[in-house]
């Protein structure tokens, strides 16, 4: 079945039932070491995870690691250009849950991203990237502890689908000709716009199915959070890209107010309901005036539309959501993408789950990680309905590769997410405690050491792993 690898003799498979993992006490988990700093980070991560599982379960549970290959290591074993061998895909499909270090993607020409390919092949449609602060971590922000968000990034479509044509290519030029001569002129709203002839062309598909399954998962996650964090913000640039990013927002609200009608309230609904709670006799028009900035300057048709919206909300959900009951629901709101980048810095405590499309989530997860201490502290998970691959937010950081200096924190914390996904909370808690206490004692790698005041002598990558284990207690 496998060409060049052999699964461990001991261990059993994780299976999935209704999208949830069914986990034996000795699961076989494939891992990809990763390129660049993967060579430093993976051994540190494996050591910490094994130590936590051993301490938490005293031999009753353990992970049987299964080494599989991707990136440079795969080419060494399988031959030139064999970046993602079939063996690796078979193993991940068979065992369901995997963890990986970062993999290199060349800019411009060359292979497309192996990281993105894995997400697409296994339909891991939700990229979940929590950004929370560990006390003692140096940060460029005054109050980094106020940020506690989870980026929920759609992981399979948007421009990451990778459908694009090089400038000057035959098909690219044909496409531009068809667009300029037929399709754009046939769409009156595009007026006299034309695509410059020397353009590269990329396609940005955003589907209703893809958007809604992501938002569905985000709302389900919000329902498990403490009451004050039960919020999902739909992040989009819908003012500019109306039928892709704007549609993501609309489909998100549509899903929230249909499938999760009893569990959610939209921000606009919350304003309408609270206006009536403050003033039970408020007219529909006055309520509309209070929720719609510039109401008095709207055309009569527009005004009537807003009044109708107020009426519909009150008629449909006052009984279930009124009299303050909406405060117990998951709040669903939306923010324009550029604005959310400043909002997480200026008003971090107002946000919880940030549901995004692929590109926005990529940018936003690096930015949010920076606030809580940098890319060394940014874990992640790629989750689908029948498999999951855990990996950090950061890349291969090539200039630090092989120096035993990089911060393994994000892959270790990705391992914590994996343990939680398996339901092994005791082991996950041990790692979180060890990592928190190491940082609180200023036992940190170079990235955090250089920001501490006064600066401290940095630990090596491997020493940081040992410090985490020592702090298990």
Ligand X SMILES: O=C(O)CCC(=O)C(=O)O
Ligand Y SMILES: NC(=O)C1=CN([C@@H]2O[C@H](COP(=O)(O)OP(=O)(O)OC[C@H]3O[C@@H](n4cnc5c(N)ncnc54)[C@H](OP(=O)(O)O)[C@@H]3O)[C@@H](O)[C@H]2O)C=CC1
Task: Give me the sign of the Cα torsion angle 417, 420, 424, 430.
Answer: positive
Annotation: binding site for Mg(2+): 362
Structure tokens at 109: 């020409």
In whole angstroms, give the CA distance from residue 127 to residue 393: 10
Tell me the three-class secondary structure of 329-393, residue by residue: CEEEEEEEHHHHHHHHHHCHHHCCEEEECHHHHHHHHHHHHHHCCCHHHCCCEEECCCCEEECCC
Q: Is 362 a catalytic residue?
A: yes
Q: Which of 406, 422, 427, 459 binds ligand Y (CB under 6 A)?
A: 406
Among the listed ranges 20-28, 170-178, 399-407, 413-421, the one in contact with ligand Y (CB under 6 A) is: 399-407
Kind of pairing between the strands at 264-266 and 330-336 = parallel
Q: Between vectors from CA 158 to CA 29 and to CA 337, what angle results, nearest 5°? A: 105
Q: Is 160 a catalytic residue?
A: yes
Is the Cβ of residue 115 or residue 211 nearer to ligand Y in the bound state? Answer: 115
Which residue among 134, 160, 253, 351 is the active-site one? Answer: 160
Which residue among 87, 362, 366, 437 is the active-site one? Answer: 362
Q: Which of 49, 116, 214, 337 binds ligand X (CB under 6 A)?
A: 116
Residue 128 engages ligand X in binding (rule: CB under 6 A): no
Residue 269 interacts, among Mg ion, ligand Y, ligand X, none and using kind-specific CB cut-offs from 5 to 8 Å, with: none
Q: Which of 158, 391, 437, 466 binds ligand Y (CB under 6 A)?
A: 391
Contact status, residue 275 vs residue 290, Cβ threshold 8 Å? yes
Distance of CA 142 to the CA centre of its chain: 25
In whole angstroms, give the CA distance from residue 146 to residue 133: 8
Minimum CB separation of residue 458 from ligand Y in Å reads: 11
Annotation: binding site for D-threo-isocitrate: 113, 115, 119, 129, 153
Phi, psi angle pair for 225, to nearest 5°:
-85, 165
Minimum CB separation of residue 240 from Mg ion in Å reads: 22
Which residues ranging from 89 to 128 are in contact with ligand Y (CB under 6 A)?
102-105, 115
Helix, coil or strand: residue 435 = helix
Task: Give me the sign of the Cα torsion angle 306, 232, 220, 224.
Answer: negative
In whole angstroms, give the CA distance from residue 218 to residue 152: 6
Is the Cβ of residue 197 or residue 403 nearer to ligand Y in the bound state? Answer: 403
In whole angstroms, give the CA distance from residue 238 to residue 246: 4
Is the Cβ of residue 275 or residue 358 nearer to ligand X in the bound state? Answer: 358
Strand partners, 20: 17
Residue 120 engages ligand X in binding (rule: CB under 6 A): no
In whole angstroms, give the CA distance from residue 208 to residue 179: 24
Minimum CB separation of residue 395 from ligand X in Å reads: 6
Which residue among 100, 237, 329, 432 is the active-site one? Answer: 237
Give the interface size with ligand Y as a residue count (CB under 6 A): 18
Residue 116 interacts, among Mg ion, ligand Y, ligand X, none and using kind-specific CB cut-offs from 5 to 8 Å, with: ligand X
Is the Cβ of residue 362 or residue 437 nearer to Mg ion in the bound state? Answer: 362
Contact status, residue 392 vs residue 380, Cβ threshold 8 Å? yes
Residue 73 engages ligand Y in binding (rule: CB under 6 A): no
Name which of 16, 353, 359, 385 is nearest 155 in CA terms.
359
Minimum CB separation of residue 264 from ligand Y in Å reads: 32
Q: Is 338 a catalytic residue?
A: yes
Which parts of this chain interact with Mg ion (CB under 5 A)? 362
Minimum CB separation of residue 110 from ligand X in Å reads: 11
Annotation: binding site: 104, 113, 115, 119, 129, 153, 362, 407, 446, 450
The residues binding ligand X (CB under 6 A) are: 105, 113, 115-116, 362, 393, 395
Active-site amino acid positions: 160, 237, 338, 362
The residues binding ligand Y (CB under 6 A) are: 102-105, 115, 374-376, 391, 394-397, 399, 406-407, 410, 447
């Amino acid at each position: 079945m496998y060409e060049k690898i052999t699964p461990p003799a001991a261990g059993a498979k994780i299976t999935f039932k209704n999208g949830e993992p069914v986990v034996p006490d000795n699961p076989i988990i494939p891992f990809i070491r990763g390129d660049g700093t993967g060579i430093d980070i993976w051994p540190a991560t494996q050591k910490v995870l094994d130590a936590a599982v051993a301490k938490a379960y005293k031999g009753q549970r353990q992970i049987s690691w299964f080494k599989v290959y991707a990136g440079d290591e795969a080419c060494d074993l399988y031959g030139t250009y064999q970046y993602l061998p079939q063996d690796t895909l078979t193993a991940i499909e068979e065992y369901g849950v995997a963890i990986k270090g970062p993999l290199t993607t060349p800019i411009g020409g060359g292979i497309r991203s192996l990281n993105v390919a894995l997400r697409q092949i296994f339909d891991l449609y939700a990229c979940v990237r929590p950004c929370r602060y560990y006390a003692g971590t140096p940060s460029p922000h005054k109050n980094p502890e106020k940020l506690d968000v989870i980026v929920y990034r759609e992981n399979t479509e948007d421009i990451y689908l990778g459908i694009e044509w090089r400038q000057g290519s035959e098909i690219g030029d044909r496409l531009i000709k068809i667009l300029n001569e037929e399709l754009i002129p046939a769409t009156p709203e595009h007026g006299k716009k034309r695509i410059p002839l020397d353009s590269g062309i990329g396609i940005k598909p955003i589907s209703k199915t893809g958007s809604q399954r992501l938002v569905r998962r985000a709302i389900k996650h919000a329902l498990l959070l403490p009451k004050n964090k039960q919020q999902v913000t739909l992040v989009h640039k819908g003012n500019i890209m109306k039928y892709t990013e704007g549609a993501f927002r609309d489909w998100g609200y549509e899903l929230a107010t249909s499938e999760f009608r009893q569990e959610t309230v939209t921000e606009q609904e919350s304003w309408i309901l609270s206006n009536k709670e403050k003033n039970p006799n408020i007219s529909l028009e006055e309520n509309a005036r209070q929720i719609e900035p510039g109401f008095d300057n709207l055309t009569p048709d527009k005004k009537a539309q807003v009044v109708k919206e107020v009426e519909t909300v009150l008629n449909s959900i006052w009984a279930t959501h009124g009299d303050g009951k909406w405060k117990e629901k998951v709040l669903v709101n939306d923010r324009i993408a550029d604005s959310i980048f400043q909002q997480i810095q200026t008003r971090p405590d107002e946000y919880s789950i940030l549901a995004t499309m692929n590109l926005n989530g990529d940018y936003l997860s690096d930015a949010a990680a920076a606030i809580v201490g940098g890319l060394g502290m940014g874990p992640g998970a790629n989750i689908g309905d029948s498999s999951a691959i855990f990996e950090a937010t950061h890349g291969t950081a090539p200039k630090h590769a092989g120096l035993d200096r990089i911060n393994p924190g994000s892959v270790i914390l990705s391992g914590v997410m994996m343990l939680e996904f398996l339901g092994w909370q005791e082991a996950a808690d041990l790692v979180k405690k060890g990592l928190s206490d190491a940082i609180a004692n200023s036992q940190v790698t170079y990235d955090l050491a250089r920001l501490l005041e006064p600066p401290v002598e940095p630990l090596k990558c491997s020493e940081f792993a040992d410090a985490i284990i020592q702090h298990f207690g």
